[in-house]
Amino acid sequence: EYRNATAAELDLRIRAAKHALGDRLVILGHFYQRDEIVRYADFLGDSFQLAQAAKTKPNAEYIVFCGVHFMAETADILSRAEQAVILPNLAAGCSMADMAEIDSVTDCWEELASVLGTASDGSDKQPVLPVTYMNSAASLKAFCGEHGGVVCTSSNAETVLQWAFERGQRVLFFPDQHLGRNTAKKMGIPLEQMPVWDPNKPMGGLTPQQIRDARVILWHGFCSVHKRFTVDQISFARQRHPGVHVIVHPECTMEVVDAADEHGSTELIKKRVEAAPAGSIFAIGTEINMVQRLANEHPDKTIFCLDSIICPCSTMYRIHPSYLAWVLESLERGELLNRITVPEAIAAPARVALERMLALKP
């Protein structure tokens, strides 16, 4: 029924359901959502802003989250128990988040302890402290909460790592090696002190000496969308558009981040474009739906994606208006579909790690 509906029909149905639900409903949306979804969002943001919004904004009974699974889990953890978080399509995951799962992180933790010990060796710091990127399952956030660690997003990674280094001699950073490497490098940590842990190899493929010498142990995860951006694309953009400002997301590789003029979260990218004078030229290394929207909203500026072959985040894209119409009309009938609930045994320690992050000044 929903699949065969036209865009115009779906629009009418979503608007009608939204109107009927009134203040009982709030729709949160990530910047990477397609325009046909963004238009219904009561609040649009990067993953940090959306976590804050889930905690502070809505009085609503229902939080419909147009984003990916880990974001909806975070919203459930931070919102009040009586609020229900709904993900319109349960297949909207994140391939990077799936690259670290709790069993292999726990194995890694134990192997690190076998080299480093668990006591602090006379130092007032832990031998290693876990930091997880927001793009991770709730169980990993819980792991961080239980082991003195914290969560970070692309907008606060440096502040969070600073906090972690005040408490740990080393950091185990997961799942995104690129965000970890780009941030630690910016903080002056040499590359030799950031080995990558490969969970498919014994002892992560590292020697005990590499582990002892490390400041940041990077999990081997990456984002397949941001991995597509290359230094050649940046050179090409500079040749074709002298004066172009190249801005990329820190999930890009180190080489790309180094070749860009600037890097930052989706919110930072948006702010830079908004603040630039008419006539500015931007080559952007992030998800295409967001770049295209910025280009449409700023016709007085030249804005394009670094990768000329369209590169959407295929899982963000799975939130289609037909799914939104389906969950909203079900809510109207009092039926809760696609609710995301994190069991309290996981939510409680995950909340500790999230609250540690939220308490830090960006």
Q: What residues form the annotated binding site?
A: 30, 47, 94, 133-135, 154, 223, 249-251, 266, 313
- Under rule CB under 6 A, residue 287 binds ligand SF4: yes
Nearest-approach distance from CB 207 to ligand SF4, in angstroms = 30
Helix axes 69-78, 344-359, angle to 10 degrees: 90
Residues linked to residue 188 through DSSP beta bridges, in sequence order: none
Binding track, positions 323-352, relative to ligand SF4; x by CB under 6 A: ------------------------------
294: helix, strand or coil: helix
- Under rule CB under 6 A, residue 33 binds ligand 13P: no
Binding-residue total with ligand 13P (CB under 6 A): 11
CA 240 → CA 169, 182, 236, 283, distances in Å? 46, 27, 6, 11
Closest CA to 261 of 274, 246, 241, 239: 246
Which part of the chain contacts ligand SF4 (CB under 6 A), choosing from 93-101, 136-144, 198-206, 326-334? 93-101
> Binding site for [4Fe-4S] cluster: residue ranges?
94, 223, 313
Q: Which of residues 244-303 bind ligand 13P (CB under 6 A)?
A: 249, 251, 265-266
Place of tokens 């630039």: 276
Cis bond upstream, residue 175 (ω within 30):
yes
Residues linked to residue 133 through DSSP beta bridges, in sequence order: 152
- Under rule CB under 6 A, residue 47 binds ligand 13P: yes
- Look at residue 266 and give the partner it binds from ligand 13P, ligand SF4, none, a contact being a CB closer than 5 to 8 Å depending on partner kind: ligand 13P
- Look at residue 95 and give the partner it binds from ligand 13P, ligand SF4, none, a contact being a CB closer than 5 to 8 Å depending on partner kind: ligand SF4
- Under rule CB under 6 A, residue 284 binds ligand SF4: no
- Look at residue 315 and give the partner it binds from ligand SF4, ligand 13P, none, a contact being a CB closer than 5 to 8 Å depending on partner kind: ligand SF4
Per-position b or e across 262-301, b if 16+ CB within 10 A of its CB:
ebbbbbbbbebbeebeeebbbbbbbbbbbbbbbbeebeeb
Nearest-approach distance from CB 83 to ligand 13P, in angstroms = 22
Closest CA to 301 of 328, 270, 326: 270
Nearest-approach distance from CB 222 to ligand SF4, in angstroms = 9
- 171-174, strands of its sheet edge to edge: 150-152, 129-133, 171-174, 216-219, 196-197
- Under rule CB under 6 A, residue 68 binds ligand SF4: yes
Q: Which of residues 208-237 bind ligand 13P (CB under 6 A)?
A: 223
283: helix, strand or coil: strand
Question: Out of 33, 126, 132, 135, which residue is the one contacting ligand SF4 (CB under 6 A)?
Answer: 135
Binding-residue total with ligand SF4 (CB under 6 A): 12
How would you class 110 by CB atoms within 10 Å of its CB: exposed for 0-12, middle for 13-18, buried for 19 or more?
Answer: exposed
Nearest-approach distance from CB 288 to ligand 13P, in angstroms = 12
Which part of the chain contacts ligand SF4 (CB under 6 A), choosing from 56-64, 110-118, 296-304, 310-318? 310-318
Angle among Cα 209, 214, 217 to the nearest 5 degrees reads 115
H or E stretch covering 112: helix 102-116
Which stretches of the chain bind ligand 13P, using CB under 6 A? Answer: 46-48, 135, 153-154, 223, 249, 251, 265-266
Which stretches of the chain bind ligand SF4, using CB under 6 A? Answer: 68, 94-96, 135, 223, 225, 251, 287, 313, 315-316
